[in-house]
Amino acid sequence: MPTISIFYGIVVRMFFNDHAPPHFHAQYGEFTAEVAIDTLVVLRGALPRRALGLVLDWAELHRAELLQNWELCRQHRHPQQIAPLQ
- 12-34 pLDDT, tens digit per residue, is 999 987 888 999 999 999 999 99
- Domain locations in the chain as residue ranges: 3-74
Please check whether residue 24 is in contact with residue 38, taking contact to mean a CB–CB distance below 8 angstroms: no
38, with CB counted inside 10 A (0-12, 13-18, 19+), is exposed
Residue 1 has pLDDT above 80, yes or no: no
- Mean pLDDT in residue range 53-63: 98
According to the model, what pLDDT value does residue 86 have?
86
Q: Which helix (H) or strand (E) holds 86?
A: none
Q: Count the Cβ atoms, other than its own, within 10 Å of residue 53.
A: 11
N- to C-terminal Cα distance for the chain?
24
